[in-house]
Structures are given as structure tokens and as C-alpha cells.
Amino acid sequence: MRFQFMDIAKGIGIALVVFGHSDLLPDIKSPESYIYIKRIIYVFHMPLFFVISGYLLVSNINIADNLSDYYSFVKKKSAKLLLPYMSISIGLIVIKLIGRMFTHIQYPVDRMSFYNLFLQPDEGAVMHLWFVYVLFMMYVTVPLSYKVSHNINIVMAGSLLLLLFAWPSVFELNNLLEHLPFFIGGIIFYRYDLLNKCNPYIALFSLLIVFIAGVSLMNMAPDYWKLTYWELSYSYKIIKTVTSLSGACMVIFVSIIIVSLNDCLAMPESILRLFGIYSASIYFLHTFFLGAVKVFIVRIMHVDTSFWLPMTVKCLAGLLLPVIFEKYILDRTPLIRKYLIGVSKPVR
């Protein structure tokens, strides 16, 4: 089953991801306005994807009741998530190892990079792919947790309790447990049909108030933005979790409103749905296109005085070029498609 509003929410989310990765321009200082916008986006853009993933998992939440079905489910998720994760990461490590013999590599790699693919993906060759690694772990562990408790509320309570403790970065345990409440929250939203029971306009306004209050509290805390999640006090962990969840839900309710106003917002809806449908390609491949455009802008065009124009060009390239690449190249090469984005056939 496809949820149209979830495609739009994914489209908004992936646009924010690419926007946040579009500032890597050497010698061009990012303006304070961009830094602040990026800081706010980073509060909720990855929690949004975990909420969406949890929402879409519901039909398989009981999958662990049958070990054969559970094995097939994990195998399918391995092909969809771990295969492109390993292919892209190993490919980039090899390219960088060869490339460092000829030029300066901005984010260098070594032999330990291969180990980090399994131990600490957020320190690996493609750092943003930590999400894929963590999402796979959630697909593996949450159905097992539900099999034990048979109550998703108990699983949620347990995930919040785990925030009391500090967790190491090995095997991405820190990112797994930081984002687990959002994944489970998505399951709860579907289970209790909360998105359909709420007036989207009232919900959006209420969530906006919560989000602004949360960000205000974050700004009041000394050095808040310099601390990692696990360096925060438990109260501020809860504040950040609630603020992140409210931001993610804001995007979802905006998406619901866009669907309801289809006649007025047909073009924005179509564009955002397009980005949502192709979000896997954009997520896995956008950094390659951003890097190519960066070289073109800085090395060839010698643009080194402005920020917003090259950043906008990079952002649009990071969104549009993966879509074009999938539609006109990957769709004709199923094997390459499977290794790069996890599925051999288009799912539209």
C-alpha cells in the first residue's frame, strides 16, 4: 500500500537532507543564516525518516511470530539496505585510496575505513549512510521486541528508559537508541490511527508551538548546540526527542494538507511526490553528484565569492540528477540498480 502523503513527506525530508549537505564549498564561508537554518533542520529531518519507516512497518510488526517469515523479512531488508550500503561505501573507499595517490582527498580514508563500515558507519567513507545501517538494525530488533511484549506501548516505554544511559558509538548503538523512539512512534501513529483522527491544521499549529518552545529551550541551554545527544542531561534528551518528534510530525501534517489541497497545489505536490518516490536514489547517490558539481563550480567556474547561488545549484543537482540517473540509466540495468539502490525493479 502506498500512502500519498508519506511520499510527499519523504520528498520534503530528502530535500532537507540534500540542502543540509550542500554547503561543502571550499573557501566559501557559510553565512550565519544558512548555519542556523541547517541547525534547525537537523533537529528533525532524520527523525522524520524513522517515523515514516515505523509507520510503514506496521503490516510486518508481527513478522517475528513466524521464524521463517521473519528470516525472509530480514533477508529482504538486507538486500534493500545493506547491499547498496556496502556497495557504495566500498566503492568510494577504493576510489579514495586510489585518488589519494594523485590529489588531495578532503575526507581521506585508510584501511580502518573497511572496519568502520561494520563498527562505526558514521565515521566511515560515506558518513551519512549511518541511517541505513541503523534502520536495518531497527527492522531486525523491533519485531523481536514486539514478539516478547506484544504491546507497542511497552516497547516505547523501554526505548525511552534506555535514554537514561550513555551508549557507545560501536555498532551505531548511540544512533540506534537515540532514534528508536521515533521509529516506534511511527508504529504507534498507525496503530491508533492518530494521523487521521487529528484535524491537520490544528495539529500543525499545536506542533509548531511545541517545536518553537523546544528550540527556545535548546537555545537557552549553555553550549547546547556543541554537545552530542548523549552529553545532554536526561531532561534535555527528552526535550530534544519531543522537539524532534514534533518537527517530524509537522512535516507529515503539512504533507496531508498538501494532498487535501491538490487542486491548488498540484505542481508542488507532484514535485515533492517525485522526490519522495525517488528518495532512495537521491539518498544513496546525491553526494556523488554534489561532489561533481562542487568540482565544476570551484575548479572550473572559479566561483569563490558568493554562497547562495552555488549552494542552490548544488542542492538542485543533488535532487534532480539522481532522479535522472535512476530513470534513464538504472531502470535499464537491473543488476547495477540492485547494488546501488537496493531494488532491481522500479517501485512506483
* DSSP conformation class of 1: -
Average pLDDT taken over every residue of the chain: 87
pLDDT at 225: 85
Residue whose entry in the numeric block shows the C-alpha cell 491548488: 264
pLDDT at 273: 92
**153 contact partners, CB below 8 Å, separation of at least 6:** 188
pTM here is 0.91
> Of 59, 72, 245, 50, whose CA–CA distance to 146 is shortest?
59
Instruction: Tell me the pLDDT tens digit for each residue of 85-98.
Output: 999 888 888 877 77
* DSSP conformation class of 97: H
pLDDT at 23 > cutoff 80? no
Q: How many CB atoms lie within 10 A of CB 174?
A: 20
* Alpha carbons 133 and 330: distance in angstroms, whole number: 23
Local confidence band at 100 (pLDDT 50, 70, 90 cut-offs): low
**With left for phi above 0 and alpha for psi between -120 and 50, is residue 24 left, alpha or beta?**
beta
**188 contact partners, CB below 8 Å, separation of at least 6:** 54, 152, 153, 156, 194
Local confidence band at 48 (pLDDT 50, 70, 90 cut-offs): very high
pLDDT at 111 > cutoff 70? yes
Mean pLDDT of 287-316: 77
pLDDT at 27 > cutoff 60? no
